A and B are shown apart, each in its own frame.
Chain A
Amino acid sequence: MIVMRAISKRYLMGDQEVRALDGVDIDIGRNEYVALIGASGSGKSTLMNLLGCLDTPTSGSYLLNGRDTATLDDTELARVRNREIGFVFQSFHLLPRMNVLDNVAQPLVYRGVSRAERLRRARESLDRVGLGNRLDHRPNQLSGGQRQRVAVARALVGEPSILLADEPTGNLDTRTSSEIMALFDALHRQGQTVIVVTHEADIAAHCKRTVRLSDGHIVEDRVNPERG
């Protein structure tokens, strides 16, 4: 499903070149459950943004569901983000002026789905993450854990082929963190492909596969031992 070859991403800081990613090769298949780990600044978020087509690599090739993303223009990339990718961010990134239901329904706006149908699917998605009520609350009226559930529901509403989460538990306490991870576990069991960026070992332990980044290189890629 995901095939990355020799992916590099370089930034220019003044006259200094920062190699955020340097020759990354990675394949991720359907229904995998992958943890991207590494120290701060190792390039995890950069890789995540490339995977989610939010950004384009400086060099290398990225095939997503058989399509070379280098050939896609701006509008087509937006379409890919809309249909293939569901993002979950560390700081939730909910839309502050919209209520929970409208937040979750928003991705469907860009698919031309009617409002009634959007709200119906948004409710369904919220049910999936265990948020059946408080649908007319504003994000700032919710706890961190609830906000992240809303964000997950929003990521899922368009039934994307990949769920991408960048430090989804970074702003949550331990208890809420494990609730969110339990949710990811369940989604994975239901067949969802999930990729989680984290620097916490116990979060990564939820996943079936761990990819470790260091200075823009993949230094480790292993299958996790079955938990039990």
Chain B
Amino acid sequence: MQAFLEAFRAALVSLLANRLRSVLTTLGIVIGTASVIAVVSLVQGFSESIKQQLSELGGSTLTLEAVNTNENFRSGKINTIGFDDLETLRYRVPGVGAVAPIMLVNTPGISYRDRTVSTEVRASTADYAAVYGRFPIKGRFIASADDQGRRRVAVLGSKLVDDLNLPKDPLGEYIRIGSEWFRVIGVMEKQGDLFGFSLDNYVVIPFDVGRALNGNRLRPFMQVSFTIDDVDQVDTIRDRAVRAVKASRPGTADDDTFKIQAADSVVKQFDEITRTTTAVVGGVVGISLLVGGIGIMNIMLVSVTERTREIGVLKALGATRRDILVQFLLEAALLALLGGLIGIAIGWGTGALIASLIPGFPPAAVPVWVILGAAGFSALVGVVFGIMPASKAAGLDPIEALRYE
């Protein structure tokens, strides 16, 4: 320990003795670290702000699905989500915000006057709008009073207005779903197409109305989406939800054939983007740190040569190979760490500057783990690239070293 402390002191002294050279040597590491910190601070700032926007939108949305394989259908053990699961999510899983079920209603088609089209009839609750972040552009969405009063009202996807030849302002018109009449109370905003399929070909009716239409089956085909209060807790809450749903079905906790999944879309995609960016940046940084490491190795080799006689003296005074090795490794690590610290400062400043120069760009954010990681990694680069020079120093023959001019 004493020897280690002393080696640390000696390393510092020797770096300070060559201040300018030390700083120039670490340039590669400085640039590498600075660029990673700058990019990460921008990406992180961006990501923070998106996550915040998602939270404001009602958080990230998870969807609970019953998953069935062919085996399930063959054996008749079909996984479904029931109304009781709605209650479970609403009241027994902490961290769950709004819960919106979507139950598909079996119907031959819907009609207005003499036109009939086939469409997807979704029975859902007032929370639908909040959970999916979709809102009507005309009229209003289903309210809980519609649900409780079992009112026969419908909100149309925008494509249906054209397909059914409804008037420009369809509010108050009556459409027929199966054999029942529904009053149109709203039209949803347009979503557009995905892979050639319109996302606007649907109609939403109150949940309990749909339940009645389906004949009050206990476990109809249903999916439940819910928001979560804290985007960062997405995984915890997902696990909790799945466990709670399984808990209400005795004997399924470890049953592989019974599968309930909760999938989030936005956050996942977004994390994917962040991860890819980070990986690319990581690659670039890896290369520049490699260059920086070679710079350090080079200057350490020079330093070992310059100090050959000194190393001989230390050996004559009783320094072991290990003592010398540790001293030079520490010196390389300190040198690289110095570069890393300068790089962190420069990168931080650069990130903040860029963020402030681009209008509307969220402020840069540098998480502590990134700073610690960057500092630790640059020190590691020093150690790795210091191994060769340090073992060269440690292996010197004392007499030849002492005689070296």
Q: Which of B5, B320, B321, B323 contacts A115 (CB 8 A)?
A: B5
State the CA gap A27–B5 with chains docked (Å).
40
Contact A52 B317 (CB under 8 A): no
* Contact for B309 among A78, A87, A93, CB less than 8 A: A93
Q: How far is the CA of A82 from the CA of B313 in the complex (A)?
A: 12
Contact B318 A97 (CB under 8 A): no
Which of A58-66, A103-111, A192-200, A218-226 makes up part of the contact surface? A103-111
**In the complex the two chains form, what is the Cα distance from A132 to B3 in whole Å?**
26
Question: Inside 8 A of A79's CB, which chain B residues have their CB?
Answer: 318, 320
Chain B 309-320 per-residue mask, 1 if CB under 8 angstroms from chain A, else 0? 110111111111
A114 contacts B by Cβ under 8 Å: yes
| Residue A96 lies at the interface, judged by CB distance under 8 Å to chain B | yes
Q: Are A49 and B317 in contact, with the CB atoms below 8 A?
A: no
Q: How many residues of B contact A (CB 8 A)?
A: 25
B17 pairs with A93, CB closer than 8 A: no
* Contact of A83 with B by CB under 8 A: yes
A83 to B320, CA, bound (A): 13
B324 to A, closest residue via Cβ: A78
Closest to B398 in A: A54
Taking a contact as CB atoms under 8 Å apart, the answer to whether B2 and A109 are in contact is: yes
Contacts of A55 in B (CB 8 A): 398-399
- A184 interfacial contact with B, CB 8 Å: no
Q: How far is the CB of B9 from chain A (nearest CB, A)?
A: 9
Selected from B309, B312, B317, the residue in CB contact (under 8 A) with A110 is B317
B317 neighbours in A (Cβ, 8 Å): 81-82, 87, 106-107, 110, 154
Cα of A158 to Cα of B310 in the assembled complex, Å = 19
Cβ-based interface call for B163 (8 A) = no
A106→B13 CA distance, assembly (Å): 14
- Quick one: which of B310, B323, B402 contacts A96, CB cutoff 8 A? B310
Contacts of A110 in B (CB 8 A): 3, 317-320, 323
Given A82-B317, A95-B310; A113-B2 close (CB under 8 Å): yes
A74 contacts which of B6, B17, B313, B321 (Cβ < 8 Å)? B321
- Cβ of B19 within 8 Å of any chain A Cβ, yes or no, is no
Q: Would you call A98 an interface residue if the criterion is a C-beta within 8 Å of the partner chain's C-beta atoms?
A: yes
Chain A contacts of B321 at CB under 8 A?
74-75, 78
Tell which of B6, B322, B398, B402 touches A75, judged by Cβ atoms closer than 8 Å.
Answer: B322
List 7 A–B pairs whose Cβ atoms lie within 8 Å, in order of A's numbering: A75-B322, A81-B317, A93-B316, A93-B402, A95-B313, A97-B17, A114-B2
- Residues in A lying within 8 Å of B, measured CB to CB: 49, 52, 54-55, 74-75, 78-79, 81-83, 87, 89, 93-98, 106-107, 109-115, 154, 158
Cβ-closest 3 pairs across A and B: A82-B318, A78-B320, A109-B6
